[in-house]
Amino acid sequence: MFPMSTTLRRTGTVAALATAGLLTAAGAAFAHVTVHPESYAKGATDGLLSFRVPNEEDTASTTKVQVFLPTDHPVLGVLVTPQEGWTAKVTTIKLKKPIKTDDGTITDAVSEITWTGGRIRHGQFQDFEVAFGQLPDDTDQLSFKTLQTYSDGNVVRWIEEPQKGAAEPESPAPALTLTAKGAGEDTSSAGTAAGTGASGSDSSAGSSSSAAKESTASDKSSDSTARALGTAGLIVGVLGLIAAGFAVVRVRSARS
């Protein structure tokens, strides 16, 4: 029979290892660059995407973020929301196949947005918001490959695309799922939104941002709640392991 002190030490070790493993897994998931919300309806119009960039380095700050938008399924009418302390550079390309809308034919689209000038320090994150006029309706998912540059020169490439049935890659690209559009949803604003382009008017940008601010705020609140519940679940699980260990000790002591 094991001495009580030995059993307690082993119980404490198991609990500590379980806690470390669970928190490490949770921390790794939170450290990824992600896009919010995680899904939109195909062909959605006048919305907002928020790219969340956390800093995972202990001794360096994030000083540059590059988000590459898909060009095979272009996002139309892209407008960048100003971020205090950051300067955004928008790059556009000519589309191989022009897209016809109610307001005319779109021949170019935004292919890259680069933010510089600011800093994301250890333990912090930054949301970079982008308004769009219209999402594509001919694909089920959009991947936004992202490069994150640190003050020490290190560059993290969030460019890996997940494969069906496979484990999540180590450096996944932010991915937006496009769902089937409901029969009752209105598409009347698609042409107007798509025609704004990257250099559209300020009024169009304000309309896009205000239309989606509530959705983004709700998404951030849900994300924070989910993290809080996840952390609480981890703590409850660890406490359960410790309680089980003490129960074993009590039984063995009684038998002695």
- Tens of each residue's pLDDT in the chain, 256 residues: 445 455 445 544 444 444 444 334 444 445 799 999 999 999 999 999 999 999 989 999 999 999 999 999 999 999 999 999 999 999 999 999 899 877 788 999 999 999 999 999 999 999 999 999 999 999 999 999 999 999 999 999 999 987 777 788 899 999 999 999 764 444 434 333 333 333 333 433 344 444 444 444 444 444 444 455 555 555 545 455 555 555 544 545 555 4
- Whether 245 contacts 7, CB under 8 Å: yes
The reported pLDDT for the residue numbered 2 is 46
Residue 130 contacts residue 79 (beta carbons within 8 Å): yes
Task: Quote the strand ranges of 44-103, DSSP E.
Answer: 45-54, 62-68, 79-80, 87-101
Tell me which long-range contacts 243-250 makes (C-beta under 8 A, separation of at least 24): 244/11, 245/7, 245/8, 245/10, 245/11, 245/12, 245/14, 245/15, 246/8, 246/11, 248/7, 248/11, 249/4, 249/7, 249/8, 249/11
pLDDT at 242: 56
Global model pTM greater than 0.75: no
Q: How far apart are CA 38 and CA 107, in angstroms?
A: 28
What are the helix (H) ranges across the chain? 4-30, 190-194, 202-255
Q: What pLDDT shows up at residue 165?
A: 75
Res 166: pLDDT: 75
pLDDT at 152: 96
How many other CB atoms are there within 10 angstroms of residue 111's CB atom? 19
**Measured between alpha carbons, how far is 230 from 226 in angstroms, rounded to an integer?**
6
Cα separation of 43 and 187, whole Å? 8
* Residue type (1 letter), 155: V
| pLDDT of amino acid 221 | 47
CA dist 82 and 213 (Å) reads 14
What pLDDT score does 126 carry? 97
pLDDT of residue 237: 56
Q: What would the DSSP string read from start to end of 132-151?
A: EEE--SS-SEEE-EEEEEET
- Residue linked to tokens 């300067």: 87
pLDDT at position 241, please? 56
Residue 237's nearest CA partner among 19, 37, 47 is 19
pLDDT of residue 187: 42
